[in-house]
Amino acid sequence: MGSYVLKRLGTSLVVILGVTFVSFALLHIISPSPGRTVLGLEASPEAVAAFNTENGYDRPFLLQYGSYLWKLLHFDLGYSYKLNQSVVDLFGQNAGRTAVLVSVSLIIALFIAVPLGIAQAVKRNSIMDYTVTTVAFTTYAMPSFFLGMVLIEVFSLRLGIFPAQASQSTSPWVVFTDPVSMALPVLSLVAITVALYSRYQRSAALDELVADYVRVGRAKGLTMNQVVRRHVVRNALLPLISLIGMTLPLVLAGNLVIEQVFNYPGLGLLFYKSLESQDYPVLLAYALVTGVLTVIGNFAADVALTFADPRIKLR
Amino acid sequence: MPPTTPPAVAVARTRENTVDPVLEVTSLSAGLVKGSTVQPILTDVNLQLGAGQTLGIVGESGSGKSMTGLAVMGLLPKGVTVTGGSIRFRGTELADLAEADYCRLRGKDIAMVFQDSLTALNPTRTIGRQVAEPAELHLGLGRAAALSRATELLGLVGVPRPAERLAAYPHELSGGLRQRVMIAMALVCEPSLLIADEPTTALDVTIQAQILELLDDLRGQLGMAMMLITHDMGVVAGHTERVGVMYGGSIVETADTARLFQRTRHPYTAALLGSIPRLDSDRSVELDSIPGAPPELGDHRVGCSFADRCTRAQPRCREQTPELDLADPEHAFACWNPEPETAPAAAGPVPIELSVRTDASAPLVSSVPAASSVPAAWSVTSSPPVIELRELRKEYPLGRRLLPGREVRTVKAVSGVSLQVRAGETFGLVGESGCGKSTLGRMVVALEDASAGAVLLEGSDLSRMSRTELRRRRRDLQLMFQDSFDSLDPHLTVSESLAEPLEIQRQGSAADRTERVGQLLDEIGLPRSAASRYPHELSGGQRQRVGLARALALNPKVIVADEPVSALDVSIRSQILNLMRRTQREHGTTYIVISHDLTVVRYIADRIGVMYLGVLVETGTSDEVYDTPAHPYTAGLIAAIPVPDPRVAREKERALVRGELPSPVDPPSGCRFRTRCPLAQDRCAEVEPPLREFGGTHQAACHFPLIDPVA
């Protein structure tokens, strides 16, 4: 177990290093002269050159990459000239809000998707199953911004129950302190996640329901409900652990559109604005964070699986 | 473990109890409801089972034998319902029992044991919890009390150190142990009826013998009635008092076990018995085989469902459905033109006895004559070897080495096997699963590299061939697989599958290849129209024919057939075996047939090699090995085969090879078999026995062989 964790940490570091290299290289290709981007098109070439020299942007690529890594080691993600703030500070202000929004939505989604998927599997090919499947596919296939707009149209403009814009409070706990204004962003995120997870949960449960131990359980005198509760649920949850690990960064990415639609000041909105203003240091940091989250999500899922599934041994 | 009840007593008790049966199934019918139509699955099934009695239900896949068991359990699959008749269990009618009442009955009064599979037990729950579950459910025991009951039962079914196993998970147990756990789980509440559905089908013969013995013992101890559902006539012969033979969803013949085997009346039962290769079958004669395939479950036609495959069929058989004539309750059969009543046939083969001597100095004497007296039926020693194995080894590392200096543990799959196979010969390789026989087969066809030693094809070492040379020579080495469904690409038609080896070896033009595909289909007895079919459109037997045709496509010198008939129904098995022998005679192909089924190997092979834990413990002609086994392991394997003859089966001693195969990671020192050998002495742990000559081609590696070695 211990040596496995060490090994996995080692490989994770290599992957993260790869992510930094690729994203840094891409940025370097897109914006080889940050001075021009920062100072604007009116600035004289001399001023741009002076800026690049001053900040080391005229050095060879590998040297620039080296100093980027060095800064990373000191938790320096760069400086946003557009917002006049260090990227670490920017992330610090916004990450909390996104994290709370995402976690709350994810947990609500799991509480809906898991029982729903299992119920669908048990009552497969029933009207309920077909209805849920249709709704899930429609939701999943819909672009998230469109879903957001539909929700705004219905709940805000027509029914007037919830505001169209999310709370602008800077507190990360705004989901709990101002649930009404956060209802629509949460609702959209939950809908998208449930659509995906319930499909997975349904097929995972179907795989388990055909397993011989279900019949053995019935032969013991358990009712079908008892077999499902005592034996099927836990086994059907196992594939979902990996899925949650893998979709951790995806939820963040999907969140980008939702935050923009509802104008919720989180990491996603920051990324969106940075994209518009070509604020490269922020974009680079966002790519890196997504990469790191992917690695962490997979790693956490693998470790969690060893606790949940006695068949898996880490070596 | 207590001794088995002598058969005579068991039969006597049975007679007493038939007065008040535990289970009485009368005119039971079940069908798959599709809209307003009902597709019949079971038709007019009649059964009676008394306390302490074992009823065998025997049939091929789709015969409805499992459905009968499930109907009694009230666990018919979704959509299938009982459409008529009654199931009375100890006076209670089950056919229309409410689900809640059924739940109280299942696991308590009626229990069921299924075929072992990896998912038969919940993989994420401990053995203890799963065995204790029925006790908590039905007996109202608390967790602790239920667990101690589970420990008791695990001990009863022969799980070693049961208290320690409570916390184990299913994947940590071997197949044999898992099956014991399944049995323990079924018996926790001491049911009065146990339904065992193919309880030993997935297990090795040695383990099968132990499990069947265990079931017999427990039935006696607990006074249960048992319904033993199986496809194996041998299992039925040795372990039941009464048999029902099922075909096409009906019971076609039922009688006392002895009577059914000796005075068979239904042509299907007779044909089934004739198609089973037996240890004493005459190898020069083709096996009887039943043409065609058994009907699928739910196929229904007017008249007798066996008529199309029956040699005694008359016009009437296709017009009127014969009913089970219950006039003679001792022996009933459903046939318009039954086999003539005959006197009991001649006695079967004498079972091999294994005498145990503790005196190490005295030679062990067996009841069978020495090898020299057996004439060799076949002699192919004059032709040069096509395949030669020299000290062949294969070891698989367990994980990778992380720190230098630390020894990597290896699975020793094959540990130094040397043998020669001559042109036109069929060499049979037998052994329990995990003995390395499949690995050996894969090395022979160069699908697996040897860790040490060499495979020589006509004198040239496969491992020293260049890539292109090996690629060219692969046309001489072909493999035939067990599961024809997995081994045929589902996206390729039969003709594409058959033409592929020809294309890869760049043989002939497209037209030539099409012609060759046609020839191959003729040869294996499929219509040429089958060329455009996909694998899923063929039956299991037809797919296995295609598998053979694909192996034959390049006219190879050697075909390695790994369990070629294990996945097939009994009546189809003989068709494929006959076909394999016929094609061999025509082409002079050399076969290496790998099987766990000793009767199959006995029937098809000229020479036999018995493998145990990676080493060859005995080789010789099949007569030498089967008639006068020298190695105790071989003798034990032969003794464990269920013989489809009740008289022989009843006289058989209890399983000779006990326990399970040790881990191939740390094989026992000296003789690898010593941990399970009834004859083992100190010397067996110290010195690895070399192969010794026993006359003719007979060789065995044992310090205390059952027959005297030559010089």
Per-residue pLDDT tens digits for A207-221: 999 999 999 999 999
pLDDT at A40: 79
pLDDT at B403: 55
Interchain CB distance below 8 Å, A215 and B171: no
In which band, very low, low, confident or very high, does the pLDDT at A47 lie, cut at 50, 70 and 90?
confident
Average pLDDT over residues B10-38: 73
Per-residue pLDDT tens digits for A174-186: 888 888 889 999 9
Per-residue pLDDT tens digits for B578-626: 889 888 888 889 999 999 888 889 889 999 999 999 999 999 998 899 9
In which band, very low, low, confident or very high, does the pLDDT at B183 lie, cut at 50, 70 and 90?
very high
Q: How far is the alpha carbon of A308 from chain B, nearest alpha carbon, in Å?
A: 8
Q: Both tokens of residue B213? A: 């013995």
The sign of the CA dihedral B224, B225, B229, B232 is: positive
At residue B40, what are phi and psi to the nearest 5 degrees?
-70, 135
Distance of alpha carbon B300 from alpha carbon B669, whole angstroms: 58
Q: How far is the alpha carbon of B455 from chain A, nearest alpha carbon, in Å?
A: 34
pLDDT at position B429 over 50: yes
Distance of alpha carbon B132 from alpha carbon B137, whole angstroms: 9
| Burial of residue A8, with CB atoms counted within 10 A of its CB: 0-12 exposed, 13-18 middle, 19 or more buried | middle
pLDDT at B399: 64
pLDDT at position B96 over 80: yes
- The more confident residue out of B72 and B301 is B72
CB pairs under 8 A between A and B: 76
Q: Count of H helices and E strands in chain A?
A: 14, 2
Q: Both tokens of residue B462? A: 């496969």
Measured CA to CA in angstroms, residue B299 lies from B8, B248, B470 at distances of 41, 8, 49
In which band, very low, low, confident or very high, does the pLDDT at A56 lie, cut at 50, 70 and 90?
confident
pLDDT at B236: 92
Chain B residues 186-225 with a CB less than 8 Å from chain A: 186
Contacts of A222 in chain B (CB under 8 A): 103, 107, 133, 137
pLDDT at B625: 92
Nearest to B134 among A7, A220, A310 (CB): A220
pLDDT at position B381 over 60: no
**In contact, B271 and B574? CB cutoff 8 Å:** no
Q: Both tokens of residue A282? A: 């922020």
- Helix or strand or coil: residue B34? strand
Interchain CB distance below 8 Å, A216 and B185: yes
Q: Does B79 touch chain A (CB under 8 A)?
A: no
Amino acid present at B73? M
List beta partners, residue B74: none
In which band, very low, low, confident or very high, does the pLDDT at B368 lie, cut at 50, 70 and 90?
very low
CATH number, span B16-101+223-277+296-339: 3.40.50.300
- The more confident residue out of B225 and B383 is B225
Nearest to B117 among A212, A219, A308 (CB): A212
Contacts of B75 in chain A (CB under 8 A): 215, 218-219
Q: How far is the alpha carbon of B372 from chain A, nearest alpha carbon, in Å?
A: 51
Q: Both tokens of residue B214? A: 């265990």
pLDDT at B376: 37
Contacts of A219 in chain B (CB under 8 A): 73, 75, 106-107, 111-112, 114, 186
pLDDT at position B17 over 50: no
**In contact, A14 and A286? CB cutoff 8 Å:** no
pTM of the predicted model as reported, rounded to 2 decimal places = 0.83
- CB-facing half-sphere around the CA of B374: CA atoms within 13 A: 23
Per-residue pLDDT tens digits for A91-111: 888 888 888 888 899 999 999
Share of residues in chain A with pLDDT > 70 (%): 97
Q: Are strands B225-230 and B193-197 parallel, antiparallel or unpaired?
A: parallel
Q: Choose, out of B109, B133, B141, the residue to mutate when testing the contact with A (most A CBs < 10 Å).
A: B133
Q: Which of A11-20, B253-262, B349-358, B685-694 has the lowest mean pLDDT?
A: B349-358
- Listed residue (B268, B246, B245) closest to B255, CA to CA: B245
pLDDT at position B348 over 60: no
Average pLDDT score over chain B: 85
pLDDT at position B323 over 90: no
In which band, very low, low, confident or very high, does the pLDDT at B363 lie, cut at 50, 70 and 90?
very low
Residue of B nearest to A209 (CA): B119
ipTM score for this prediction: 0.82
Contacts of B199 in chain A (CB under 8 A): none
Nearest to A213 among B73, B120, B137 (CB): B120
DSSP label of B677: -
Interchain CB distance below 8 Å, A218 and B114: no
pLDDT at position A222 over 50: yes
Interchain CB distance below 8 Å, B119 and A217: no
**In contact, B273 and B243? CB cutoff 8 Å:** no
- CB-facing half-sphere around the CA of B688: CA atoms within 13 A: 10
Share of residues in chain A with pLDDT > 90 (%): 37
Residue of B nearest to A311 (CA): B171
Distance of alpha carbon A158 from alpha carbon A144, whole angstroms: 20
Distance of alpha carbon B352 from alpha carbon B653, whole angstroms: 9
Domains and CATH numbers, chain A: 20-87 (no CATH), 92-308 (1.10.3720.10)
Average pLDDT over residues B156-163: 89
Termini Cα distance of chain A: 7
Q: Choose, out of A8, A123, A216, A223, the residue to mutate when testing the contact with B (most B CBs < 10 Å).
A: A216
pLDDT at A184: 92
Buried b (16+ CB within 10 A) or exposed e, A22-34: ebbeebbeebeeb
Range ranked top by mean pLDDT from A249-253, B249-253, B303-307: B249-253
Average pLDDT over residues B266-293: 82
Distance of alpha carbon B280 from alpha carbon B495, whole angstroms: 39
pLDDT at position B441 over 90: yes
Q: Does B402 touch chain A (CB under 8 A)?
A: yes
**In contact, A187 and A151? CB cutoff 8 Å:** yes
Distance of alpha carbon B211 from alpha carbon B201, whole angstroms: 11
Q: How far is the alpha carbon of B614 from chain A, nearest alpha carbon, in Å?
A: 27
Per-residue pLDDT tens digits for A65-97: 999 899 888 888 888 888 889 989 988 888 888
Q: Choose, out of B80, B119, B190, the residue to mutate when testing the contact with A (most A CBs < 10 Å).
A: B119
pLDDT at B711: 65
pLDDT at B12: 39
In which band, very low, low, confident or very high, does the pLDDT at B499 lie, cut at 50, 70 and 90?
very high
Interchain CB distance below 8 Å, B133 and A222: yes
Distance of alpha carbon B310 from alpha carbon B292, whole angstroms: 10
Q: Does B169 touch chain A (CB under 8 A)?
A: yes
Q: Both tokens of residue A225? A: 């409900």
pLDDT at B364: 36
